[in-house]
Structure formats: structure tokens, C-alpha cells
Amino acid sequence: MAGRLEGKVAVITGAASGIGRGTVDLFVAEGAKVVAADIQDDKGARLEEDHKGKARYVRCDVSSEADIEAAVAAASKHFGRLDVLFNNAGTGGARDMADAVTAEGFDSVMHLHVRAALLGMKYAVPVMRAQGGGSILSTASVAGLRSGYGPVLYSIAKAAIVHMTHVTAAQLGQANIRVNCICPGLIATNIFANAFGIPSQLAETRLGAIAEASKNNQPIPRGGLPRDIAEAALYLASDGSSFVTGHALVVDGGLTLGPNGADQMAAFAPIIQALGVDAETLAQMMAPR
């Protein structure tokens, strides 16, 4: 069913690449006008060219409150209203262990993820309240739900976004403003490259390889793509989810379900061996079926 966002206006941060760009493309295809906020001016220009009259690029560093305020204001300025805010901008951040974190690293990660999302709400809510409602989305992560899926600071920040979603949804429901977040699993984007200092242009040539490499890490045997998250954002932004708020929607191909198949059997291999099962029998038990 096309046109699920017909007549709606959205602001999307981190919009020029990865999940953000995938969401811009889908939102426009479904009838929305979009303010695409990012710091990648060249990609922003191409985005505007691809969606003439339907998407407006605005330079926005989400570590700056003034930039966030301006991006939200651009929706009303250019398109006359604001129905959806998608707080999506972010990176993997510092990879330090707990005993090596720095105050500067902590502040950087928290400002980029948690502070930016809350400030986005700060400026979007008055506009939505005056209109009679709206939908606010944020990108969290499975790293905010389970340990072992991201660096400590990133994981803490994403857990904070999940809880922020709960608290703000309870506060804003009476104003008909819904607040939800999405928890992606392994999605083929530049975030992996950024975490290891690999240039984004080079990383973009390897996204197919990332998807291929991750296809066996979850029960659904394919790599996650930006479109998978964009589809979740579309649902939460649309009137089809009008009775959904305070929800952290996991989109991970089953990653957080735990080991599966041979991996699950491998966890029991030492116990089976301790029971005296010979190597040949063990190999047969662990063989894919």
C-alpha cells in the first residue's frame, strides 16, 4: 500500500547515508516531504537532486543545540508542518573498555546520541503539540538491550535512548505524540568502518561484503540492510502504528535470540566430550541438517 505518509513532513538526522538515506528514500516514496539533516554536504546535495522538491538538505551537527533547533524549524519553514522526527544520527564512538574510558569520550558519545535525541524532542514537541500530535523515533540498538553487541559507551548511550523512549512516551501520550525507538542488529552501514577509522568512501564500496559476512550471525540467513530499518521507521511514523508508543522495536534478524544451529551445539561440545562421547559422534551431532 503506497502513500502511507502522504501529506506528512519529517525531519531525519544522519540522513545523507546509511539508515538515514534509506529512510529518506522510503519516506519520500510513501508521500512524505523530508528535511534531511546531516554534515555530509556533498551527499546532502545529491539527496536533494534525487528528490527535487520533496527533500530539503540542512546542514546539522547534532552536537550543536542551535543546529538541531534550526533543523526542526526548517520543517515548518519549508514544508509548513512537522509530523515525524527521526533522531538517527550517530556513530560507534570510542571502543575503550570500562577501565580506560575518558571523560571526553564519554561526553562525545552521550552528546551525539542521548543529548541530541532529547534536544530534538525539545524543539519538535511544541510544534507537534500545536498541531495535535506527531511521531518521534530514535535509533537505539540491540547493544542497548544486551551486552556484547557494542563498545561500553555506545551500549550505555543506546540503553539510555531506550529508557528515554519509555519516559517521554508516558509524558507525551496525552498530547497525541507517540515516542518509539528502533533497535537494529547487524546492519550493513558505515558505522563499522567509522569505528575502526576507515574512510567512509572506502567503506561504502564494502557494504555488500559486510552484509555477506554477517548473514550467518542470526537465524535469518542474510545480512541486515538500511531498508530493513527504514521499513520499521515507516511503520512507526505512519498512522498504522497510531496505538503504539513507548516501544523499542528490535529489527535484528533474530540476532538477540542467541546461538542457533551448529553454534548452539558448539556451546555444549565440552560437556558432551566430558560425558565420553567420541569425536566422530560429536562431529555428526554438530553437522548442519
Query: Cell match 525539545: residue?
Result: 122
> CA 58 to CA 71: how far, in whole Å?
6
Distances in Å between the alpha carbon of 71 and those of 7, 27, 82? 19, 17, 11
Domains with residue ranges and CATH for the chain: 9-257 (3.40.50.720), 259-289 (no CATH)
Per the structure block, which three cell numbers stand in for 275? 560425558
What mean pLDDT do residues 212-234 have? 89
* pLDDT tens readout for residues 65-77: 999 999 999 999 9
* pLDDT tens readout for residues 85-111: 999 999 877 778 999 999 999 999 999
Q: What SS3 state is found at 124?
A: helix
What percent of the chain clears pLDDT 90, i.e. is strictly above it? 71
Q: What SS3 state is found at 14?
A: coil
User: What is the reported pTM?
Assistant: 0.88
The amino acid at residue 242 is: S
Q: Where on the phi/psi map is residue 139: left (φ > 0), alpha (ψ -120 to 50), or beta?
A: beta
> Confidence band (pLDDT; 50, 70, 90) for 2?
confident
Q: Where on the phi/psi map is residue 94: left (φ > 0), alpha (ψ -120 to 50), or beta?
A: beta
Predicted local distance difference test score (pLDDT) of residue 91:
86
> Confidence band (pLDDT; 50, 70, 90) for 262?
low
> Confidence band (pLDDT; 50, 70, 90) for 213?
confident
Residue with the bigger pLDDT between 202 and 158: it is 158
Predicted local distance difference test score (pLDDT) of residue 287:
59
Per the structure block, which three cell numbers stand in for 244? 503504539
Predicted local distance difference test score (pLDDT) of residue 215:
75
Please identify every residue annotated as catalytic.
154
> CA 192 to CA 194: how far, in whole Å?
6
Predicted local distance difference test score (pLDDT) of residue 101:
92
* DSSP conformational letter for 114: I
Q: Where on the phi/psi map is residue 276: left (φ > 0), alpha (ψ -120 to 50), or beta?
A: left
Q: What is the DSSP string of 234-283?
A: HHHHSGGGTT--S-EEEESTTGGG---HHHHHHHHHHHHHHTT--HHHHH
Best mean pLDDT range from 28-37, 181-190, 254-263: 28-37
Residue with the bigger pLDDT between 223 and 113: it is 113
In contact, 262 and 288? CB cutoff 8 Å: yes
